[in-house]
A and B are shown apart, each in its own frame.
Chain A
């Protein structure tokens, strides 16, 4: 994170530094961030042990079903959710929609998700996230996309998966892509890094830093299709820092119980006996859509440049 840490060497109190932006994501690690659409949902999530909530008008499964243009949620709804819980509250803006981001910063959300789940506002450019004091999380499918977003100022990354499906296959594909590329990078001699940076379309300095760290320079959560404690624990065993669960909780038969089980699964991800106990009697999972049956134009993960 040295490349972007302009804060060091200064003496006065300073807000919105790279270190405090990345730092909040570090505090979320080993936790579950849950999509909620009402203050009541937010309280259920907090009670279940969520480390943060994502405030939105519709969960991704309903955005899929509803169709039309999906936009930033009503700030009044987001504020009601912020007032209902003491855990951090995130909210989504459309890719490239910097004014939606200015609005969310003005009401004081804790993290902004520049999200492919909403309809993109710009088909070429993402938001210049360095200009904001509030930190951003962005989706990725591979290392190049992750490092482009970090280069634009994202202080946290999530692999995209395929939101609103309840099918974990894309989350696994994207996690394996990012982690596999980092493993290959670690074995690469330094003289190959510039060409590799060109090939994956990533800033050279961040490629170099990722090689040195052996991981992304920011926290990396899994997302998109996680529906069970076993799904969540698998993403942790693969090497993710934590898990976003969208439709998987409040589209299931017993949200409170499933939410608590997924939180516990992320803590005890390496303990199959505990995973077995907490997986019992959770009620109906969300119905789900096989990603392999989705036409390409309906794949949300394709959005982002």
Chain B
């Protein structure tokens, strides 16, 4: 059930990240389990209004949605149990922007490849972006790391210090998916297909707002 979305390069009239006014944008954060407060803090800093989403009715009147980091099994099971999968699918089909970080990336990925460590239960998901991911791809917690990346939307800016925690990686992307960032060894760690964006790392754990700004610029662009 992949939502067809063109590989849009943002047109010239789209506000550049960081220079726009995001006041009034209401961004939902799936608050079933995980690091949803950190996203809310960053959104507030940028002038947007965060809202916690626990039940289908909470999706009403949102401009965009973030699926945060946490445990993908827990988040998937709770989303299914409380009837959120279909309403979220409709939300995205209606053209609203969505961003999954870490567990959120797994939640939105079309295919799950080999797992780096541990068991093999595949949680309920909303497979809307044409990528294949490997869960726990870098190993266990002792292998969690920080590394510099260079976001495709800010090629001339300073590096972005990305925090990877028991992180997945993007094994491959389909046609129409734009790679937004890679590690030095070429591993894909951020991507976008139309209004759907995913990152394997946690921009909400840093002080650097560039990925949040980029997402808000997508929300503005696709809401027009």
Contacts and interface: CB of A to CB of B under 8 A. Distances in A.
A30 B119 CA distance: 22
A109 B74 CA distance: 20
A29 B68 CA distance: 11
A29 B74 CA distance: 11
A108 B142 contact: yes
A85 B119 contact: yes
B2 interface: no
Given A46-B119, A86-B120, A105-B142, A20 B31 contact: no
Contacts of B71: 27-28, 31, 51-52, 87-88
Interface in B48-78: 54, 69-71, 73-74, 77-78
A264 B35 contact: no
A236 to B, nearest CB: 12
Interface in B128-172: 135-136, 139-148, 159, 161, 163-166
Interface residues of A, number: 48
Contact of B142 (A16, A83, A84, A266): A16
A133 interface: yes
Contacts of B74: 31, 49-51, 87, 263
| Interface of B: prevailing SS | loop
B107 interface: no
What band does the interface of chain B fall in when counting residues whose beta carbon is under 8 Å from A?
A: 35 or more
Contacts of B144: 15-16, 20, 23-24
Interface string A88-110: 11000000000000000100111
A92 to B, nearest CB: 16
A7 B146 contact: yes
Nearest to A31: B33
Contact of A19 (B36, B70, B146): B146
Contacts of A88: 71, 140-141, 166
Contacts of A23: 144, 163, 165, 202, 205
B166 A19 contact: no
Contacts of A29: 33-37, 70
B118 A267 contact: no
B140 A110 contact: yes
Given A46-B119, A87-B71, A14 B35 contact: no
A108 B117 CA distance: 11
Contact of B119 (A15, A26, A28, A43): A43
A135 interface: yes
B32 interface: yes
A111 B141 contact: yes
A24 B33 contact: no
A49 B77 contact: yes
A133 B33 contact: no
B118 A49 contact: no
Interface string A239-275: 0000000000000000000000001101110010000
B81 to A, nearest CB: 7
Interface in B13-42: 31-38
Contacts of A47: 121
Output the residue of B31, B32, B35, B71 with the most chain A CB within 10 A: B71
A30 B146 contact: no
Output the residue of B81, B146, B161, B183 with the most chain A CB within 10 A: B146
A86 B102 contact: no
A82 interface: yes
Interface in A24-45: 24, 26-31, 43
25 contacts: A12-B147, A15-B145, A17-B145, A20-B145, A23-B144, A26-B35, A26-B38, A26-B69, A27-B34, A27-B35, A28-B34, A29-B70, A30-B32, A31-B34, A31-B71, A31-B74, A50-B74, A83-B118, A85-B119, A87-B71, A87-B73, A88-B140, A111-B141, A134-B141, A263-B77
Interface of A: 7-8, 11-17, 19-20, 23-24, 26-31, 43, 46-47, 49-52, 82-89, 105, 108-111, 133-135, 263-264, 266-268, 271
Interface of B: 31-38, 54, 69-71, 73-74, 77-78, 81, 102-103, 115, 117-121, 135-136, 139-148, 159, 161, 163-166, 183-184, 202, 205
Given A13-B145, A28-B34, 5 more contacts: A17-B145, A19-B146, A26-B35, A82-B140, A110-B141
